[in-house]
Structure 1
Amino acid sequence: MSAAILVVDDSSFNRLLLKRRLAELGHGEPEMAADGVQALAAIAARRFDVVLLDLEMPELDGIGVLERLHGRADAPPVIVISAQTDMAGVIRCIELGAEDYLPKSFDPPLLRARLQAVVDKKALRDLADQRRAALEAEMETARRAQLSIVPRGFAALARPGFALHAHMEPAREVGGDLYDLLPLPGGQVLFGVADVTGKGAPAGLTMARCFGLVRAAARMAPGVPDPAALLALANDDLAAENEEMTFVTALFGVLDPATGAGRLCNAGHEAPLRLRAGGAAELACGPIQPALGVVEGYPYASHPFAIPPGEGLLLLTDGVTEAQDPGGDLLGKEAVLAALGGTTAPEEAVAKLLMAIAAHARGAPAADDVTMLALSRPGA
């Protein structure tokens, strides 16, 4: 198959000789450049399967061209044209990304072999790039589908004397965290956060399955559902034939916004934080029970809690407390409590923690998903 080839050489004789050799090998008319400046202009104008690049040229030599192409994702494969006596320059070119070198004898069998090897490698890279682009498109679609699961209309979910806010930021395109807010008959609200082992699409699918089970059970329950019963149902489904030992930590509750009374069930999750004017503190609300998917038939239990007027409740995943700085040090629970201070407003509490995470990370990529859900009963 004919390849798109750029020949870069200041010698018109060498350019003509290479043109003839390429024609003998079945390649079409190559594009020509007499120096590195012309070569860079040609590369900017179109894509080439391979560039045959002379090492010594006026204006800009072969090393100069490779230095400008180095690190560019769109840089074409380069075979350096060199005299056998100039191996130091060839080595420098290879260090800068050149694929191979070609002696100026332009021996047809050697030219055929070097060209074919480079063109085949480029074809494989192009195929890998196409598949990567397709996968990224699929992952972006999955990310949008996952984000569509979580409620975002916080104003519509709020009640008089009841405020809420949430934030979810996957470490990858598709994360293993989710939060949920579901209005129930009688003005009650089901809320929760969860974190699944692993990341990416498998984790996202497991979490979507878990939340689907909880939501369906909540809607079918007679009266006000007990969060323990909802998690028990999800646990039995996840634990059955769980050969990969995938498990989900979850913290779910049911709250009456009018009275501030409710019940919480913790399945292996981070303890919730009480938001109050005197400073945030960990809320002890019964023992931490096994994560979902670990023990089939586990008898989960919920425990009562209350949010007095002027206070709030914050649920989070360990991606908050375990946010890492460039050296790998964790943010930690104490820093989270300090960042919250005496904040009781849900949106402000979430914003303060996001700022604390960003200040601690100092640009380091997130190692885990970050999810927060805050509820409050503003004071009179």
Structure 2
Amino acid sequence: MSTFALLVVDDSAFNRLMLTRRLAELGYTDVTLANDGIEGLAAIAARHFDCVLLDLEMPQMDGIAVLERLREHQGTAPPVIVISALTEMDTIVRCIALGAEDYLPKTFDLPLLRARLGAVLEKKHLRDLADGRRHVIEAELESARAAQLALMRRDFAAIAQPGLTIAAAMIPAREVGGDLYDAMRLPCGGVLLCVADVSGKGAPAGLTMARTLGAIRAAARLVPGPLPDPATILAYANADLAAENDSQTFVTALLIVLDAATGDGRICVAGHEAPYLLDEHEARPLTGFARQPPLGAWEGFAYASTAIHVAAGQGLFLYSDGVTEAENAAQDFFGRDRLRATLAPLRGASPDAVVAAVLAAIVTFADGAPQNDDITVLAFRRG
């Protein structure tokens, strides 16, 4: 027990002496003494204590004032047992509300002191173990976040065909997210562009996200043709994700394969939000796609793609539902109408500017409300 550091804060020399003796009888020898609340706070600032035994009635700064100051440092302040007379029960209740762990009558009964101090120190030990484990988990999650974000391509200039500019961003709602985007130069010379959203959040969604990204990239290299059909690519990915999918995890996906030289390509939408077309006239969602299930939901489903043409000067904006479902403090959604209004003045803007403007609009709308879903955006434009 001597390894525990204790602080006794009491203006009575007799009480300090009695407590010191009682604590020594119980094996607590690392005991610091303070004459009042001001000295007590200075001692707490100077070193670590495992528990503070705090008198209520003291000159200059009483126990209530000390607890109020310690409450400002909740999470780092040591646990407190208040020392009180049994007639101060209303004050004791207030102390407990301010964060005190327990109270000790001024009789300093040895068995009672042993029980209450031992219980407080045991709870602190368990909290310290939990905090240590939490820090380890947070470090692991931060490492996973960095590894996941490293999967997201950032050097688009290295893979885009001449005349095609690309920008994208993914902001996880937690340390690890379930959204993904990809832009990939295909063996045939075309470009694959993709945004997808895994059901669920956190580490399980992040693992499925990495699995989905790998499946799409692998399939894109295997599918033959001058321009591989995005429907065939998603069918390959679906075969991997749907097999033995006991967790019923699914992935909405939007995949485009494009020849930037001609603007011709194909698009396949699997349960995902339709992209927005950006041209000199308007920003509007593309339509005319078949309704198809997300990946992982239907084993063996035969996906179909649709021909598209992106003319010179036109662009497309792809996004996950974390954009339209972003919430503010009033629990209003950002919504499709607000997204369309945000994109309208960006019809001729660069992909970088489009991505930055949409993310800024979401931040302004949310106004500090917590992010509940991953947010992913990708924009590209033919020059």
Q: What is the TM-score of this pair, normalised by structure 2?
A: 0.97
- Cα distance, 1:238 vs structure 2: 1.1
Counterpart selection for 1:339 from 332, 339, 342: 342
Cα deviation 1:95-142 (Å, max 9, x = unaligned): 100000000010000000000000000001001101110100000000
Aligned residue for 1:364?
369
- Cα distance, 1:170 vs structure 2: 0.4
Aligned length: 378
Q: Is the 8 A contact 1:8 1:54 kept in 2?
A: yes
Uncovered stretches (5+) of structure 1, i.e. residues with no partner: none
2:360 aligned with 1:355: yes
2:50 aligned with 1:45: no
Counterpart selection for 1:269 from 255, 272, 281: 272
- Cα distance, 1:374 vs structure 2: 0.6
Q: Is the 8 A contact 1:176 1:195 kept in 2?
A: yes
Aligned residue for 1:161?
163
Larger CA deviation: 38-47 vs 104-113: 38-47
2:381 aligned with 1:376: yes
Inter-partner Cα distance in structure 2 for 1:31 and 1:176: 51
Inter-partner Cα distance in structure 2 for 1:262 and 1:46: 67
Inter-partner Cα distance in structure 2 for 1:8 and 1:363: 41
- Cα distance, 1:46 vs structure 2: 1.3
- Cα distance, 1:277 vs structure 2: 1.8
User: Any idea what SS the aligned residue of 1:22 has?
Assistant: helix
Identical aligned residues as a percent: 60
Cα deviation 1:304-338 (Å, max 9, x = unaligned): 10111111011100000111010111011111011
2:200 aligned with 1:198: yes
Inter-partner Cα distance in structure 1 for 2:34 and 2:72: 22
Uncovered stretches (5+) of structure 2, i.e. residues with no partner: none
Residue identity in the other structure for 2:120? V
Aligned residue for 1:314?
317
Larger CA deviation: 328-337 vs 183-192: 183-192
Root-mean-square deviation (CA, aligned residues, Å) is 1.1
- Cα distance, 1:285 vs structure 2: 4.3
Inter-partner Cα distance in structure 1 for 2:215 and 2:164: 27
- 1:104-143 map, 5 Å: 104-143=106-145
Aligned residue for 1:185?
187
Inter-partner Cα distance in structure 2 for 1:47 and 1:23: 19
2:283 aligned with 1:291: no
User: Any idea what SS the aligned residue of 1:315 has?
Assistant: strand
Q: Is the 8 A contact 2:81 2:104 kept in 1?
A: yes
User: Any idea what SS the aligned residue of 1:86 has?
Assistant: helix
Larger CA deviation: 135-144 vs 357-366: 357-366
- Cα distance, 1:186 vs structure 2: 3.5
Q: What is the TM-score of this pair, normalised by structure 1?
A: 0.97
2:204 aligned with 1:225: no
Aligned residue for 1:256?
259
Aligned residue for 2:284?
281
User: Any idea what SS the aligned residue of 1:299 has?
Assistant: coil
Aligned residue for 1:6?
7
Q: Is the 8 A contact 2:160 2:185 kept in 1?
A: no
Structure 1 stretches of 4+ moved >4 Å: none
